[in-house]
Structure 1
Amino acid sequence: MRVATQRKPLIAAFLLFLSMSLRAGAGELSSDPVIQLDTQMHNSPVYMMSVDASARFAVSAAEKQVRVWSLPEGKLVRTIRPPVAEGVEGNIVAVAISSDGETVACGGDTSTDVNNYHVYLFSRSSGKMVRRLVGFPGRIRSLVYSPDGRTLAVGSLKGGIRTFNAATYAPAGTAAEFPGDARSMDYDRSGRLIASSSQGDIVLYDPSLKVIARAKTRSGNWETVRFSPDGKLVAVGSNNGLNVEVLSGDSLQHLYSPALSDLKGGGLGAVGWSADGRKLFAAGSAQIEGRRVVGVFEDAGRGSVRWIKAANDFITVVRSTADGFVYSSGEPSLGALTMEGRRIFNRTDVGIGYRDKTVRVSEDGSLVGVVFPNRTMQYRFSLVDGDFDEAAGRDGELADPVRSAPGINVTGLRTREPKLNGQRLGIDQGDVARSMAVVPGGEAFIVGGDFTLYRFETGGRMIWKRRLTATPWAVNVSRNGKVAVVGASDGTIRWYRVSDGVELAALYRVAKFDGPRKPWVVWSAKGYYSASPGADSLIGWHVNNGWDREAYFYAAARFRRVYYRPDIFAYLMKTCDESAALKLAGGQAAATSITGVLPPIVRIFSPADGAQIAAGSVPVRYSVESPTGDPITSVRILVDGRPVPQARDIVLEAAPARTTPAQSAGKNVTNRTADVPVDGAQGTITIIAMTKNGASEPASVRVVRKGAASAPADGYTIKPKLYILSVGVSRYNKHPENNLKFAAKDATDFAAAMASQKGRLYREVSAKVLTDGQATRANVVDGLQWLKRSATQHDVAMIFMSSHGDNSSGQYYFIPSDFDKARLESTSVLFTYIKDAVASIPGKVVVFMDTCHAGDVLGNRGTKAIPPSIDGIVNELVSAENGAVVFTSSTGRQQSLEDPKWNNGAFTRALVDGLTGKADLTGKGRITINMLDVYISERVKELTQGRQTPTTAKPQTVQDFPIAVR
């Protein structure tokens, strides 16, 4: 075999490299925002994972993202976002982290030009792109850094293997005639490289890419290859059978194969070694009792084996850590175990897998249900009501997919050659038909392939084809024939227009959640959305910044004022047109593109996450970038989710003059430093910047004080003061038709329950109780100002509000006792007053809202198809910049119920009972936010027989804390 190495002058290669790096890249890259899921975990199989030499960080790749995890605890510390394009362009299939853990290389379908693929290099600590390598003639298949950190090897389809000097990333060598594409590569400590090809070849190279030895895999297919730590052995894993080989690290001669037993089916394609080389790891699709296992072989694979159950789907990579090993899987999951099998961490996809499940739909597609193979209903969701129903057996309105009709007999599903009436169906070459459903009327049918959705007519002619971002495992069609509904591999349910395949909406629900209610978000193709409390961070907008910069990403919550529109979904299935639904809901499309109203970006450079600090203030270095060039109007610094007004903030380097968004990427940046006081044993510092476009995503680091004593059991070093504003309105001066029975009593009972905490959890309790005639607009506003003036960063503030509320006009109003329908704005308490008070209070803030009582206080609900939802108000209050913990009496558009037999509203009855002891779920005498949430949720559902579902939301920047003691 002829091998091209460094025989040509390196300066010529370096000049060629520079010319390629300076090229514009692979075609035009759109800057149009793209909606992406962001569940803090991958939602498709994790095929590649890499660990640095010290096992401090793991990086994993899936979808169009790279995630960085700290080891050994498995905490997500960063999501790296390369440029993306429509379809598969931007999918990351190869990733490597440098030996020092500072640089992350990634690649895959990273181009819009099939002859010029890219490898992106990112700073692990900042997430910023530091370089782009270009000119690869095919998809990037594998990446690996040498143990000394000096070399990066890149394997690509059609491009063989190329190596680069990791100091300058100048070309170092080329093995252009490598047989096939390099699917797996590894370095040993001496700089030798071993690679396995798609054609079953294994090639051993010296550091200059001169061939040392060759071998063929036993299966003739590509296999995984890994050097032992001393380089004397090479483990070869097989994806095509229960076979693992150990070869000589010098000659590639077969030495031995570990003894395998007790396994069922599958392969062992993932191999690795312990740090000392004494143990060999092997894993893959092989399983024991339904779980995929990792085999830990003693004596480098010659001795006994311990099979450790690890994942629920095929294992793709195994790497050694200080305590054992870390693995990735197709579940998807990332986990770590000790050599003895003790679980260290397990991060799994939190969504619903739709493989082997049935999606049932209503007549118009607005109501969907998901059914297990045993026919038990998993859930139902209504686009109209914006709510879930988990009761099995209540599915009479829903229908299964129809899979055959006269003239339509599709066979060969789950193969690459499906047939219609015995003739091959024209899906794409290499695609697999995963699902199908007949369109009512029998004149057409829908087929789901891998990342593709097709519509065929009865004779087999393709009518349309749509590329998707996930595999449609399940498909159904509404009985009216207008909407196709898909259960996809990324955990979403998606609605498509049958006539032309245009996507109308998508739904994601968190299935694995510790709280009593599972978060969900639904969004339209243009980005209008509805979300349960706290769930508007599950999706966001990815905005490209060209080929040579990391992309921006903003959670949907950043654009809540424009894009939070739960009302349009009631009309979407009726019209099958987003613009028409928006018009019927009484609104217009956003006047400005998201790229014109991007909020700022904050990056914290020091201290590092988890850093130990001395007592007193912490110097924090950070930068603020304004993508649109708009001036930064303010910077908020929080500790444990609450503002720190005395933090000293200094601008070190001013931003340049305003530029256009297209010119401003990476330019409108100011570098700053702030001295932030952290009083406790540990704290989370969060920085949020503001422009006229809104607040940035919060940037946070956790710090720990050196030698600090652990926090006391109640969570407070010094007992705080408690300030309460409790408002309840049962009597309305001008509109007695809206009177309530127990709202005033609810406010009094809540204040009394918390007053009993004086001298226990709180050293003092100061309450302002406003009921009926006292609860005027002026008094409520004064009460909010009193809280702002009184509570310090060491105190706790609580707001309890029981009355009517109205947000039918798109703005929320709390209805006081002296309101006048004819003068709503001047006689009601605008939500802005509540929000500003919450954001300004430096201590912890807890809000209890019971304002969803039955009754159309403004008399205009008849003009609306659906009642307004409370969820948007909750999401506003719990955003990081406002930072409140919020309890609401009901969810979405539900009504709050009250009954004489409870002598309260259901919510307050459960709340008071919980605070006075019944929410002490552990029996340790402490009642925390999370405990109270669980108790209230179950108790209210019990009292109301499921008609009312309270909800609780807490910012990510605020940890669970005690609210009362017994």
Structure 2
Amino acid sequence: MPDGKLQKHLRGVGASNWAVGFSSDGQTLAWGKSIQLEWQVNDYGPLEYRLTLPTSDRPFGSPKKISPDENFRRAQTQWNDWNLRSPPDQNAVLEIRHQESIKAQIERYPHDGYEHRTYTFTPDGQHIISGGGNGYLSIYKRNGEKLGDYTGHTGDIWAVAVSPDGGLLASASDDQTVRLWNLQTRDNLLTLFHGSDGEWVAWTPSGYYIASPDGDQMIGWQINHGADKAADYVKVAQMRHTLYRPNIVANVVRQRIDIQTKVSEITKLPDFKILSPEYGSTITQQQIELKLSLSAVKTIEIYVNDRLVIPRGENALAPNHYKKTLIVRLEPGKNHLRIVAKNSIGETEKNWEVYFEGEAPENQGDLYLVAIGVSDYQDDRLDLNYAAADAHAVHDIFVAQQGKKYKKVNSVLLAAPTSSKIKEALDLFDKAGEDDTVILFLAGHGVNEDGEYYFLPYDAHKRQNRWQKSSVIKWQTLQDKLEKTRGRRILLVDTCHSGNAFNSRLVKDAADANIVVISATDRDSKADERHELKHGIFTYALLEGLNGKADLISQDKLITIKELDAYLSDKIKKLSNGHQEPVLHAPGGFKDFVFARL
């Protein structure tokens, strides 16, 4: 209506980056997105966030706020008796000074960045890095001779820093990214985008990436088909199977050399159209015929309101099969359908909404629960105090939900299990139907080795200082079982009882499969046990919440996932004095649901 009133405010989640730095050991990258009122060159704003970089025995971390006691190395304008400065109101000129004598000058012009917005010595004092306008980032000898440019940024460079060993250069830009470079070769190694919503993604020039659960929705490729045809846009998430490779990205940063890949295959992604029903249509029959037109599709998955109703294994398609009709049962009211088509190259996802107006018999659904807790290990050095007790308590509280939230509870409880017993227990999930709920609870030790995450059963053991793969449970084994299971899937994880025990891929993989994930802690903190609680902090708070303390919002004797998340976040922070922070990720388009009844 032309009344001059603001209807919508469109705002992105990106922001300019004004600061960048490295920790004293070079293993943590830091940056800031705020500009201060009284700024000056090389000090436009504070460092606010940090990301732990990978080492040979530790994967990437995830962005976290910086604590006040952390120190970082930023731009260094002084090296022994040498210093860098620009004359007042002459930022186009950078003076290289020895004591009080000007030994050389570097001047920028409109064609190469206008001004020296930020600059630093390298740790050995032999080279100078300068960032200017329009993405110009350059390296010079100490005598002012230019050696070359670091090409990639598209906005003004506001901050630079060099790692203490002189191997990595970090730059922060107006283009909303932070980049890592090989200082010597000038090759871009990694580009990081960190959104105000907490989602993030970091990618190599070849397209390999790491990301938060929804971070890979923010970047992609535009595919042009000529001046007279509309371009296509392919999200990098569609190539997840090929390009989501945390191990490769970690190796790029550690070895400081990009690893090439072919992205030309993005034109071979699966494609499909939804022929019927129409988007937003109202339907009076509970079952609908979902008609699809397909191209290069191998398998299809279908979710209704976050429940997996048709697993991909049931719909393997022949290469020449171009049409498919599937029967889908709706819930009363609004139904959010998520259709995922896959092939060997990647996947294509479409979201559809329809409304069911009509009566439907209430189906309580069953609960399928596997609770695993390992306190006692063959290797006594691994023993925990309360992991087994945690599994017992979680098992019992959900068994008590039979006849309340769930029609029937089917459960397996494992304390001190072997790897074979765990794999056998997971077969329980094969019996779940589309109306059912599936919960996997894990308490014990988790470890990272070669970038992979493993859960340690009772009989886990090492040989020549490496975990024997036959004695541990690879995360992918758990992931694959949940991914193929019908119904609503929930993963409760309390496996971070030692340093280097969390792998962010755990949450990412589960989230991509539409699994609700609640983890006891994040990458940079440890899950604690407390003798006075007789449980781990996470499980203690979980039990309290399910016993009624999480009934916060409507106080209707129903515990929803969102209520439980709010309670866990607050309670765990209090119990741990802020040292432990739980992680919950729900699928995109998540619809809150009742988890337990009082």
Range into which the TM-score falls when normalised by the shorter chain: 0.7 to 0.9
401-410 or 633-642, larger mean C-alpha shift: 401-410
Offset of 1:462 from its aligned partner? 4.7
- List alignment gaps of at least 5 residues for structure 1: 1-273, 280-295, 297-323, 325-335, 338-344, 580-588, 627-631, 657-668, 856-866
Task: State whether residues 757 and 765 of structure 1, in contact with CA within 8 Å, keep that contact through their aligned partners in structure 2.
Answer: yes
Residues in 2 aligned to 1:897 and 1:347: alpha-carbon distance in whole angstroms? 42
**CA-based RMSD:** 3.8
- Amino acid paired to 1:788: D
Offset of 1:937 from its aligned partner? 2.8
Q: 1:815 to 1:361 in 2, by over 3 A?
A: closer
Match of 2:86 among 399, 409, 429: 409
Task: State whether residues 180 and 190 of structure 2, in contact with CA within 8 Å, keep that contact through their aligned partners in structure 1.
Answer: yes
Task: State whether residues 506 and 522 of structure 1, in contact with CA within 8 Å, keep that contact through their aligned partners in structure 2.
Answer: yes
Structure whose alpha-carbon radius of gyration is higher: 1
- Alignment of 1:685 with 2:337, yes or no, is yes
Matches within 5 A, 1:797-946: 797-819=438-460, 821=462, 824-854=468-498, 867=500, 869-879=502-512, 882-892=513-523, 894-925=525-556, 926-946=558-578
Task: State whether residues 420 and 460 of structure 1, in contact with CA within 8 Å, keep that contact through their aligned partners in structure 2.
Answer: no
Q: In the alignment, which residue of structure 2 is the partner of 1:948?
A: 580
* Offset from partner CA, 1:825-846 (integer Å, 9 cap, x none): 4444443442233123221111
- Alignment of 1:741 with 2:385, yes or no, is yes
Q: 1:503 to 1:927 in 2, by over 3 A?
A: same
Task: State whether residues 523 and 529 of structure 1, in contact with CA within 8 Å, keep that contact through their aligned partners in structure 2.
Answer: yes
- SS of the residue corresponding to residue 86 of structure 2 reads strand
- Amino acid paired to 2:596: A
Offset of 1:771 from its aligned partner? 1.6
Q: In the alignment, which residue of structure 2 is the partner of 1:794?
A: 435
Q: In the alignment, which residue of structure 1 is the partner of 2:426?
A: 784
Residues in 1 aligned to 2:238 and 2:573: alpha-carbon distance in whole angstroms? 29
Offset of 1:617 from its aligned partner? 2.9
* Offset from partner CA, 1:523-576 (integer Å, 9 cap, x none): 3333343334x145245542636435634514347435664225864883x65x
Q: 1:350 to 1:797 in 2, by over 3 A?
A: same
Higher share of residues assigned helix: 2
Residues in 2 aligned to 1:781 and 1:756: alpha-carbon distance in whole angstroms? 25
* Offset from partner CA, 1:239-296 (integer Å, 9 cap, x none): xxxxxxxxxxxxxxxxxxxxxxxxxxxxxxxxxxx55xxx5xxxxxxxxxxxxxxxx4
Q: 1:906 to 1:868 in 2, by over 3 A?
A: closer
Residues in 2 aligned to 1:634 and 1:407: alpha-carbon distance in whole angstroms? 60
Task: State whether residues 21 and 47 of structure 2, in contact with CA within 8 Å, keep that contact through their aligned partners in structure 1.
Answer: no
Q: In the alignment, which residue of structure 2 is the partner of 1:520?
A: 200
- List alignment gaps of at least 5 residues for structure 2: 38-44, 55-59, 96-103
Q: In the alignment, which residue of structure 2 is the partner of 1:476?
A: 160
Residues in 1 aligned to 2:149 and 2:275: alpha-carbon distance in whole angstroms? 46
Offset of 1:361 from its aligned partner? 3.5
Q: In the alignment, which residue of structure 2 is the partner of 1:223?
A: none
Q: 1:760 to 1:747 in 2, by over 3 A?
A: same
- Amino acid paired to 1:525: P
Q: Which one scores higher on RCO, CA 8 angstroms, separation ≥ 6?
A: 2
Q: In the alignment, which residue of structure 1 is the partner of 2:303?
A: 638
- Amino acid paired to 1:485: A
Q: 1:843 to 1:563 in 2, by over 3 A?
A: closer
Q: In the alignment, which residue of structure 1 is the partner of 2:398?
A: 754
- SS of the residue corresponding to residue 676 of structure 1 reads strand
Matches within 5 A, 1:303-452: 324=5, 336-337=6-7, 345-354=8-17, 357-363=18-24, 364=26, 366-370=28-32, 372-373=35-36, 377-384=47-54, 386-399=61-74, 402=77, 406=83, 408-409=85-86, 418-420=92-94, 425-429=107-111, 433=115, 435-440=117-122, 441=125, 443-452=127-136
Residues in 2 aligned to 1:400 and 1:729: alpha-carbon distance in whole angstroms? 48
Residues in 2 aligned to 1:847 and 1:361: alpha-carbon distance in whole angstroms? 35
Match of 2:236 among 551, 555, 563: 555
Task: State whether residues 401 and 438 of structure 1, in contact with CA within 8 Å, keep that contact through their aligned partners in structure 2.
Answer: yes
Matches within 5 A, 1:696-735: 696-705=347-356, 707=357, 717-732=362-377, 734-735=378-379
- SS of the residue corresponding to residue 892 of structure 1 reads coil
Q: Under a length normalisation based on structure 2, what TM-score does the superposition of the two structures give?
A: 0.81
Q: 1:868 to 1:510 in 2, by over 3 A?
A: same
Residues in 2 aligned to 1:432 and 1:605: alpha-carbon distance in whole angstroms? 55
- Amino acid paired to 1:792: G
Q: 1:963 to 1:675 in 2, by over 3 A?
A: same
Task: State whether residues 446 and 454 of structure 1, in contact with CA within 8 Å, keep that contact through their aligned partners in structure 2.
Answer: yes
Percent identity between the aligned chains? 22
Offset of 1:884 from its aligned partner? 1.1
Q: 1:601 to 1:552 in 2, by over 3 A?
A: farther
Q: 1:800 to 1:944 in 2, by over 3 A?
A: same
Q: In the alignment, which residue of structure 2 is the partner of 1:674?
A: 326
Q: In the alignment, which residue of structure 1 is the partner of 2:221?
A: 542
Could you list the structure 1 runs, at least 4 aligned residues long, displaced by more than 6 angstroms after superposition: 649-652
Residues in 1 aligned to 2:69 and 2:187: alpha-carbon distance in whole angstroms? 30
- Amino acid paired to 1:520: W
Match of 2:194 among 493, 497, 509: 509
- Amino acid paired to 1:396: N
Residues in 2 aligned to 1:407 and 1:800: alpha-carbon distance in whole angstroms? 57
Residues in 1 aligned to 2:481 and 2:316: alpha-carbon distance in whole angstroms? 28
Residues in 1 aligned to 2:291 and 2:231: alpha-carbon distance in whole angstroms? 21
Task: State whether residues 730 and 742 of structure 1, in contact with CA within 8 Å, keep that contact through their aligned partners in structure 2.
Answer: yes
Q: 1:921 to 1:549 in 2, by over 3 A?
A: same
Task: State whether residues 683 and 703 of structure 1, in contact with CA within 8 Å, keep that contact through their aligned partners in structure 2.
Answer: yes
- SS of the residue corresponding to residue 704 of structure 1 reads strand
Task: State whether residues 372 and 415 of structure 2, in contact with CA within 8 Å, keep that contact through their aligned partners in structure 1.
Answer: yes
- SS of the residue corresponding to residue 397 of structure 2 reads helix
Offset of 1:921 from its aligned partner? 3.3
Q: 1:833 to 1:500 in 2, by over 3 A?
A: closer
Residues in 2 aligned to 1:851 and 1:530: alpha-carbon distance in whole angstroms? 22
Offset of 1:958 from its aligned partner? 3.6
Q: Under a length normalisation based on structure 1, what TM-score does the superposition of the two structures give?
A: 0.52
Q: 1:493 to 1:900 in 2, by over 3 A?
A: same
Q: 1:606 to 1:458 in 2, by over 3 A?
A: farther
- Amino acid paired to 1:601: D
Task: State whether residues 686 and 701 of structure 1, in contact with CA within 8 Å, keep that contact through their aligned partners in structure 2.
Answer: yes
Count of aligned pairs between the two proteins: 563
* Offset from partner CA, 1:837-886 (integer Å, 9 cap, x none): 3123221111112223338xxxxxxxxxxx4642212222221xx32111
- Amino acid paired to 1:367: L
- SS of the residue corresponding to residue 73 of structure 2 reads coil
* Offset from partner CA, 1:869-924 (integer Å, 9 cap, x none): 42212222221xx3211112222364332121221112211221222222233243
* Offset from partner CA, 1:12-41 (integer Å, 9 cap, x none): xxxxxxxxxxxxxxxxxxxxxxxxxxxxxx
Offset of 1:744 from its aligned partner? 0.7
Residues in 1 aligned to 2:347 and 2:205: alpha-carbon distance in whole angstroms? 24
Matches within 5 A, 1:116-195: none
- SS of the residue corresponding to residue 411 of structure 2 reads strand
Offset of 1:743 from its aligned partner? 0.8
* Offset from partner CA, 1:912-944 (integer Å, 9 cap, x none): 122222223324334322332233233323323
Matches within 5 A, 1:16-35: none
Q: 1:912 to 1:650 in 2, by over 3 A?
A: closer
- Amino acid paired to 1:797: V
Offset of 1:953 from its aligned partner? 1.7
